[in-house]
Structure 1
Amino acid sequence: MELFDTSKSILQEIKLDEATFGKVKLLVKRDDLIHPEVSGNKWRKLKYNIELAQFQKKDGILTFGGAYSNHLLATASACNRAGLKSIGLVRGEELNTSSNENLKRCSELGMELKFISRAEYDDRNDKIAQEAWKEEYPFYLLVPEGGSNFYGMAGCQELWKELPDEVDHLFVAQGTTATSCGLAAGRKEHTCMHVVPALKGFDALREMRKLLFPFLVDPDAIEESLSRVEVHPDFHFGGYGKWNEELLDFIRFCEQTYDLPLDKVYTGKAFFALIEWLKLQQFQTPQTVVFLHTGGLANG
C-alpha cells in the first residue's frame, strides 16, 4: 500500500560552519515527509499494528491520545487508507469532535472519538482497564498511546536499513520511548544513540528498559542495547508542551537557514540539543551524525 512507502524520507545534509563544528557531516532523516498526516515515527509505529489488525481480521484499531495527539490523527488517517475502522479514547470528557482542528480531522477520517475522564485515561495502561476495553471492543486491536508496543518498536527498528552503514551518532526526540527502543534494539555496534526526552524529570533509561523487556527478554541483551545510549535530559524547555522565545527563534532559524521545519514539542528541542552538543565536541576524526526527524508538524 502506498501509505507504507518510505521513498519520500530523504537524507538531507545540513551544511555546518566548519570553523565551529569541525569535520562533522550532519544528515537529517526526513521521516516527516513520508505523509502529511501519518508522518515520521507515527508511520513506523503503526505499520505492523495495521498489518496485525488486518491479519487478525479485526474491524479496526482502538487507541488513546490527548486533544492534540499526532498519534490519534495518524491512526485515523492510516486506518482510513487501510480500509479499517478506528476508535480514539480521548483524554478530557469536556471535549467534543469540534473542540479543535485535530479532533475535527480525526472525525472526518472516520475515527469514532470517545471522550473519557482524566482519571480513566490515567488508567489506560492498567491491565484490568485494558482487559475491559478489549471485552467491550473485541473486534478492535488495542494499540497503546503513541504506538508503544512490540509492533511499534519493530517498525522503528527497520529505519536502520535506510541509513548509511557508517553512522557515528544518531539523535532522536523521545516521548513514549517506542521509537528510541526500536532504534536501540537494532543499533549498529559502533553507533552512539542520543535521546532527548520531551518530558521533565523523565527517567529515560528506566522507561526504555521496561519497554524493551518483552522485546529482548534477556537482561544482558537489554543492557547491551542501552550501553551506547546517551540521554540529554535538560532540553525540555520547562516540560512537555512548553517552550520559550529562545526555542522559537531557533526553530525559525533552522527553517530559514537550513530549510528544515521543526516542531516546538519534540523535534525542535531535540535538534537544539544536538547543535548545543556539537558545539562542545572536539572530534579528532570526521564524524557522521544523523538526526531523525520524527514528524509531528501537524500539531507542533
Structure 2
Amino acid sequence: MLGIQVSPLEEFRYHSKEENLCLEFYIKRDDLIHPIVSGNKWRKLKYSIAKAEQNKNEAILTFGGALSNHLVATAAACKEVGLKSIGYVRGEELNEHSNPTLQQCAELGMELHFITREEYNLKNEKFYTDELHIEHPNVYIVPEGGANYYGIIGCSEIIGELPEDVSDIFVSAGTGTTAAGLLMGSRAHQTIHIVSALKGEWMEEEVKKLLMYSLFDEEAVDELMQRAHFIYDAHCGGYAKTNPELIEFIQKVYQQTGVKLDPVYTGKSMLWIKHNWKQCSPTGRLVFLHTGGVQGATFMQEKLAVNLYPES
C-alpha cells in the first residue's frame, strides 16, 4: 500500500495584527502522506491501483492537463508498485519537455500521448475508452483526477480518521471526488464545506452525480447533500488564477506555521476562511483538509516569478 496509513491532525494558528485576526482550527495533513503521491491523490489512487494489481493489468491509463498533479501522482504511484503508466494529455501542441510537470511524468516512466482538446472531451465516453482498450490491451483506465468509485471510497475513509466532535470540514474541490467521498463517509452532525477552485456553480451537480454513481439511491444521496455547503466565490478570478493578496497570504502562512499551501486549491480555500472567519462558527471542531498539491505549486513558482515559500 502506498504512503502512510493515517495522516496527522494538527492545531493550526495564523494571526495578523494589521487585520486584528487570529485563525485557530485543525488541519488534516494529507499533504504529508507521500512526497509525490500526496493528499487526495493518494486517497483517490490507492484502490484503483489495488484493483489493477488484482486484475493483473500491466498499466494504468489516465488523463490530465498540462499541469496535472494527478498525472505526476499516477506516474509516481505506478512506478513504486511496478505498473506501467500511460497519460493522455490535453493539448496536441504539447510535448514531454513543455513544462516541469510533463518532464517529471516522463522521468517517472509515464508514456505520454498528446491529444486535441476535442478528443480529450471524449475521455468519459464508452466508445472512446473501448478504443483505448483496443490500442492499449490489459490496461486499467482511471478517469481524470481519479474520479471513480474507488477514488470516492478512498476519500470517504478520511472521516474515520477524525475525532467524532468534528462538526465542520473544509475541502478544496476540482473534480468533486474528494468532496463526494467526505459526504459519503460523513456523520449526521457534520457539514462538508466544498470550496470550488473553478468558476461557475456546477460543482453541486457534479458531486451529486458522483454520489449517485456510487450509491444508486436518490434518497440516500439527497440526505448526504443536505450536509454539503458549496462555496463558489473563492477562485480569485478562475482556475489557476492568482492575485497579490493570495500569494502574500500563502507566504505568510508558511512563514508563521511551516504549512505549504498551493495557489490553485488549498491557498484559495484557506484565504476564503480568513475572509469569512467571523461567519465560521462551528458547533464542534473545525478541520481544514490539506489535499496536497504542493508539487504543482513548486512548478508554478517559475511561472509566477515568485518564491511562494520564502524561507525554503
TM-score tier by shorter-chain length is over 0.9
Q: Determine the C-alpha separation between the residues in 2 that align with 1:288 and 1:101.
A: 39
**Cα displacement (A) at 1:277:** 2.6
Structure 1: segments with no counterpart, 5+ residues: none
Partner of 2:302: none
Q: Determine the C-alpha separation between the residues in 2 that align with 1:168 and 1:134.
A: 44
Correspondence list, 1:161-176, <5 A: 161-176=160-175
Q: Residues 232 and 281 from structure 1, CA distance in 2 versus in 1: closer, same or farther, beyond 3 angstroms?
A: same
Partner of 1:75: 74
**Cα displacement (A) at 1:21:** 7.4
**Cα displacement (A) at 1:4:** 3.4
Q: Determine the C-alpha separation between the residues in 1 that align with 2:21 and 2:285.
A: 12
Partner of 1:14: 12
Contact kept, 8 Å, 1:32 with 1:40, in 2: the verdict is: yes
Equivalenced residue count is 295
Q: Determine the C-alpha separation between the residues in 2 that align with 1:114 and 1:245.
A: 35
Partner of 1:288: 285
Q: Determine the C-alpha separation between the residues in 2 that align with 1:282 and 1:194.
A: 13
Q: Residues 108 and 281 from structure 1, CA distance in 2 versus in 1: closer, same or farther, beyond 3 angstroms?
A: closer
Contact kept, 8 Å, 1:59 with 1:140, in 2: the verdict is: yes
Partner of 2:247: 248
More deviation, 273-282/120-129: 273-282
Q: Determine the C-alpha separation between the residues in 2 that align with 1:161 and 1:168.
A: 13
Correspondence list, 1:65-144, <5 A: 65-144=64-143
SS of match in other structure, 1:253:
helix
Partner of 2:301: none
**Cα displacement (A) at 1:210:** 1.0
**Cα displacement (A) at 1:249:** 1.1
Q: Determine the C-alpha separation between the residues in 2 that align with 1:47 and 1:131.
A: 24
Task: Specify the code of the residue in structure 1 equivalent to 2:295.
Answer: A
Is the aligned partner of 1:153 residue 2:152?
Answer: yes
Aligned-CA RMSD value = 1.9
**Cα displacement (A) at 1:278:** 2.1
State the 4+ residue runs in structure 1 displaced beyond 6 angstroms.
19-22
Partner of 1:50: 49
Q: Determine the C-alpha separation between the residues in 2 that align with 1:120 and 1:202.
A: 25
**Cα displacement (A) at 1:221:** 0.4
Q: Determine the C-alpha separation between the residues in 2 that align with 1:90 and 1:238.
A: 24
Q: Determine the C-alpha separation between the residues in 2 that align with 1:36 and 1:221.
A: 36
Q: Determine the C-alpha separation between the residues in 1 that align with 2:203 and 2:162.
A: 24
Contact kept, 8 Å, 2:273 with 2:280, in 1: the verdict is: no
Identity over aligned pairs, percent = 48
**Cα displacement (A) at 1:127:** 2.2
Q: Please give the per-residue CA displacement for 1:154-206, whole angstroms capped at 9, x wherever unaligned.
A: 00001112111110100000000010001101101111110000010031211
TM-score (norm 1): 0.93
Partner of 1:26: 25
Task: Specify the code of the residue in structure 1 equivalent to 2:145.
Answer: G
**Cα displacement (A) at 1:34:** 1.0
**Cα displacement (A) at 1:152:** 0.4
**Cα displacement (A) at 1:274:** 2.0
Contact kept, 8 Å, 2:3 with 2:34, in 1: the verdict is: no
Contact kept, 8 Å, 1:21 with 1:279, in 2: the verdict is: no
Contact kept, 8 Å, 1:88 with 1:111, in 2: the verdict is: yes
Q: Residues 179 and 281 from structure 1, CA distance in 2 versus in 1: closer, same or farther, beyond 3 angstroms?
A: closer
